[in-house]
Amino acid sequence: MLTPTDKIWHNGRLIRWDEATIHVLSHVVSYGTSVFEGIRCYATPSGPAVFRLREHVRRLVDSARIYRMENVGFSADQLAEGMLELVRVNKMESCYIRPIVFRGYGEMGVNPVKNPIEVYLACWSWGKYLGEEALAEGVDVCVSSWTRIAPNTLPALAKAGANYMNSQLVKMEALANGYSEGIALDANGYVSEGSGENIFVVRDGKIHTPPLGASVLPGITRDSVLILARDLGIPVVETLVPREMLYIADEVFFSGTAAEITPIRSVDRIAVGKGRRGPIAEKLQKEFFAVINGTRPDQYGWLSPVHAVQPAAAR
Ligand code: PPE
């Protein structure tokens, strides 16, 4: 169960957790009119720091724009500052941050534009997404019988609430059949992504990941993996991945804010490689965790400290 924090940010104002309620006839409830983000704040030796805050805010603004919410009422800087303030007032060392932009209460009917845009920022403590052992041991997954949202239906580059009805079908089917997660194929039958993760496939030392045209969310962890792999000198390509590549791969792994970098040890009960975490996933995890835990200098500028850094003279 969700453990409440003190405050939630609503349209620029901090309100109590229990006050953050909406009317049942808000546009979002009937029509799914929302875009959102998922961001992690990590405990580092110099205090809590938000991972790739700018990139997440940018994707939120992009998602809103795709749905013709051209002005959400707050600038990217205001939203970013709102999140840092939220983590501060809730006194969190680490947490998951969930900004949500949606169409609220006003008019009924499919046309959303007369309904007010509401912006909420919330945070809470969120542990390991696919189970405690997943990061070290890997997870057992299946290819879903559900197809990922297709081009010209729901735009995959937007992180919209409605997309997650598709993700829920994928996830529920996987769990019902005894798997941790499902992988959806795109409308052309190529590998797309997990219900809440991007996917990577390794063969002969080279990493493959589906391109943005394969109905994937442009994952920020995905981008981080591409950068880390490049800097480790591991060849990586964004390319169409046929389903059967999953069965003959040396390694397969997921990336996501919640899932971080999670190895996959079997697909459809076929062992991936040796049936456990592979060396490339392990190497990338090591790099990734060194950055987010702040045990290595933040060479990419990926961490936004929650507490303002004191100028040297004031220390
Ligand atoms: N694809 C999907 C469909 C997706 O939902 C996520 C994030 C990703 C890829 C990875 O994107 P990124 O987080 O930017 O690296 N899924 C979020 C939702 C989890 C949830 O259950 O809610 C997340 O990981 O925060």
Q: Ligand 1 atom closest to Cα of 167?
A: 3
CA distance 192 to 146: 11
- Ligand 1 centroid to residue 198 C-alpha, Å: 8
* Ligand 1 near 38 CB (within 6 A): yes
**Closest by CA position to 12, among listed 161, 125, 118, 123:** 118
How is 20-72 classified by DSSP, letter by letter?
Answer: ----TTSHHHHH--EEE--EEEEEETTEEEEETHHHHHHHHHHHHHHTT----
Helices (H), 115-206: 134-137, 163-176
**Atom 16, ligand 1: residue with shortest CA distance:** 196
* Ligand 1 near 103 CB (within 6 A): no
CA distance 279 to 127: 24
Q: Strands 13-16, 34-36: parallel, antiparallel or unpaired by DSSP?
A: unpaired
For CA atoms 87, 67, 147, 56, the dihedral sign is negative
Residue-level pLDDT at 130: 82
How is 10-28 classified by DSSP, letter by letter?
Answer: ETTEEEEGGG----TTSHH
Q: Ligand 1 atom closest to Cα of 56?
A: 14
CB 196 within 8 A of CB 259: yes
Locus of tokens 């045209």: 213
Locus of tokens 């981008």: 223
- Ligand 1 centroid to residue 314 C-alpha, Å: 40
Locus of tokens 């070290």: 136
* Ligand 1 near 256 CB (within 6 A): yes
* Ligand 1 near 199 CB (within 6 A): no
Q: Mark whether 128 is an active-site residue.
A: no
Catalytic residue among 114, 159, 171, 283: 159
Residue-level pLDDT at 312: 63
CB 199 within 8 A of CB 183: yes
Q: Write out the chain's pLDDT in tens, 315 residues.
A: 899 999 999 999 999 999 999 999 999 999 999 999 999 999 999 999 999 999 999 999 999 999 999 999 999 999 999 999 999 999 999 999 999 999 999 999 999 999 999 999 999 999 888 877 999 999 999 999 999 999 999 999 999 999 999 999 999 999 999 999 999 999 999 999 999 999 999 999 999 999 999 999 999 999 999 999 999 999 999 999 999 999 999 999 999 999 999 999 999 999 999 999 999 999 999 999 999 999 999 999 999 999 987 666 655
What is the pTM assigned to this prediction? Answer: 0.97
